[in-house]
Amino acid sequence: MRQHRTIAAVLSAICMGLGQLYNRQWIKGILLLIVGVFSLYYFINNLGDAIWGMATLGDQGSHLAKVNGLTQMVAGDHSINLLIEGLITVMMLAVFLVGYYANIKNAYNAGKQRDMGIAPNNFKQTLNYIFEIKFAQSFLTLPAIGIMFFTIMPIIFMILLAFTNYSAPNNLPPANLVDWVGFKTFTNLVALKTWSHTFFGVLTWTIIWAVLATVTTYFGGVLVALLIQQKGIRFKGLWRVILIIPYAIPQLISLLVMRNMFNGQFGPINQYLRYFGMDGLPWLTDPFWAKVTVIIVNMWVGIPVSMLLVMSVLTTIPKDLYEAADVDGASGFQKFKIITLPMILFSTAPVLITQFAGNINNFNLIFLLTNGNPVVGDYQYAGATDLLVTWLYKLTLDQQRYNMASAIGIIIFLIIATFSIYNYRRTRSFKEEDMIQ
């Protein structure tokens, strides 16, 4: 009685589509067969090379060799290309194996139906099954492929890099080979004095920055929102539009403009200070003042966002709470402390954490405003205002210290992921989403 299912499954395991053909699902069977044959052909040709490439990262750099009797420089193995190509092949293999498993399971199920005397789905029914019952999975295929190759593949690549010695000056393909070195990069980052000094210095500033930037913009936003929403203030809409301007200007523009405004020699800010008889300040050139400047400019950029958020929360606070407080004779400050502030904090707490995580990674602000400068002498390629991300950028694109940069990237990721996952898991939209309706 259970012949069909076994035979179908075994046939499918031998080659994709055979089991379906056995089950007389002709169109599906032929389509799967074509896919199966092509994939097998591809993997037979590529898989060996891919695994060899990933395992060894090439065994010969560019070298001198005799070509037609002349000694020439011959291109050797390009370790990084080998690594990526291997990675892509392995990922395709993973996709293929999932498909293969599904194919066997499908043939088995169709065979089971036949054993029980039910005719298996014809092609039209199959299509219907895919688009109606498995709708979500089919819908997600396209985005999933995009994410797989343009996000997941690069991330795995980056993680792998941290375990190689891919770095200037001695291990840059195509001239030289790259090798696997295990955890050496991480130990160097923490143990080598020059690197660890920079790393902990930059890490400390990154955390100070993230806390200050988040707190100042958040409470600045609360203050401004309360200011506008007070009883008796007129033209609320107008104030709101004016105060939203910094948010509306693209950061690329506003930050480059700010860089010019804070220019120590010719910038208008120092010009005004001198006009009032004060010395100009070294806004962007002194380590301390540069830090002050980035915080100030970040307030300018960030307060409008918090303001908008807080304003939308303020409108949702029930009026009767305040009326009840009035009856009890509460003062304005008491009302703020007992009703307004807790309400605001309660509903914006998740945004606050998101902003904190965002500030750790606030590349634009630092990069466009100070570019991490002023330079600190005993840092490795970092300046006084460099965050971990901007340092990472310099290590990657300017210094080509890819392995070190990858290690730092992984550390940044661990920090931010901790915050965000904790935050997201707490929100109701994740925990009990089916209860919102």
Partner 1 sequence: MGIKMRNAIRLTASYILLVIIAICCIYPALWIVLSSFRPGKSLYSKSLIPERFTLDHYKELFTSQSFLFETWYMNTLKIALFSMVIGTILVLLTSYAVSRFRFKGRKNALSTILVLGMFPGFMSMIAIYILLNSLNLLNTHAAMIIVYAAGAPLGGTLIMKGFLDTIPRSLDEAAKIDGATNFQIFRKIILPLSKPMITYMSLTLFVGPWVDFIFARLVLRTKENWTLAVGLWDLVNSTQDSNFTLFAAASVLIALPITILFIFLQRLLVDGMTAGASKG
Tell which residue, 1, 4, 19, 207, has the closest CA to residue 105: 19
CB-wise, 262 or 379, nearer to partner 1?
262
The structure tokens listed for 292 are: 């002050």
Q: Which stretch binds partner 1 (CB under 8 A): 3-11, 63-71, 174-182, 246-254?
A: 246-254
* Local structure of 73: helix, strand or coil: strand
Residue 67 phi, psi dihedral angles, 5° rounding: -120, 120
Residue spans of alpha helices (H) in 61-192: 79-115, 123-128, 135-147, 153-161, 184-191
- Please pick, from the candidates 7, 11, 84, 107, the single residue that binds partner 1 as defined by CB under 8 A: 84
**Please, which of residues 312-331 interact with partner 1 by CB under 8 A?**
312
Query: From the CB of 393, what's the least distance to partner 1, in Å?
Result: 5
Task: Count helices and strands (H / E) in the chain.
Answer: 20, 2
- Are the C-beta atoms of 52 and 80 separated by less than 8 Å? no
Q: Which is nearer to partner 1, 10 or 330 (CB)?
A: 330
| Smallest distance, partner 1 to C-beta of residue 337, A | 17
65 SS3 class: strand
Listed in sequence order, the residues at least 6 apart from 191 whose beta carbon sits closer than 8 Å to its beta carbon are: none
CA nearest neighbour of 396 among 387, 388, 405: 405
Tell me how far apart the alpha carbons of residues 279 and 273 are, in angstroms, rounded to a whole number.
6
* 281 three-state secondary structure: coil
Is residue 164 near partner 1 by the rule CB under 8 A? no
Q: x/- binding map, residues 86-105, to partner 1, per CB under 8 A?
A: --x-----------------
Q: Does position 281 bind partner 1 by CB under 8 A? A: no
Binding to partner 1 in span 367-426, by CB under 8 A: 389, 392-393, 396-397, 402, 405-406, 409, 412-413, 416-417, 420-421, 424
Q: Does 30 contact partner 1 by CB under 8 A? A: no
Instruction: Check binding of 136 to partner 1 (CB under 8 A).
Output: yes
Asked if 308 is part of the footprint of partner 1 (rule: CB under 8 A), the reply reads yes
Closest approach of partner 1 to the CB of residue 276, in Å: 15
Q: Please report whether residue 243 would count as binding partner 1 according to CB under 8 A.
A: yes
Which residues are CB-neighbours of 322 under 8 A, at least 6 positions away?
Answer: 335, 339
State how far the Cα of 77 lies from the Cα of 46, in Å rounded to an integer. 16
Window of 14-22, 194-202, 287-295, 305-313 that interacts with partner 1 by CB under 8 A: 305-313
Tell me: does residue 14 bind partner 1 (CB under 8 A).
no
Smaller CB separation from partner 1, 6 or 230: 230
The single residue listed with the structure tokens 């011959």 is: 74
CB count within 10 Å of CB 352 equals 17
| Cα 89 to Cα 47, 77, 78, 85, 348, distances in angstroms | 7, 17, 16, 6, 45
Query: Which string of x and - marks every residue 345-374 that binds partner 1 (by CB under 8 A)?
Result: --xxxxx--x--x---x-x-----------
Site for partner 1 in 170-199 (CB under 8 A): none
222 binds partner 1 (CB under 8 A): no
Rounded to a whole number of angstroms, the minimum distance from the CB of residue 264 to partner 1 is 11
Residue number, 16 or 360, with CB nearest to partner 1: 360
Among 3, 6, 45, 260, binds partner 1 (CB under 8 A): 260
Binding-site string for partner 1 from residue 53 to residue 82, where x marks contact by CB under 8 A and - marks none: ---------------------------xx-
| CA proximity to 307, closest of 247, 224, 239 | 224
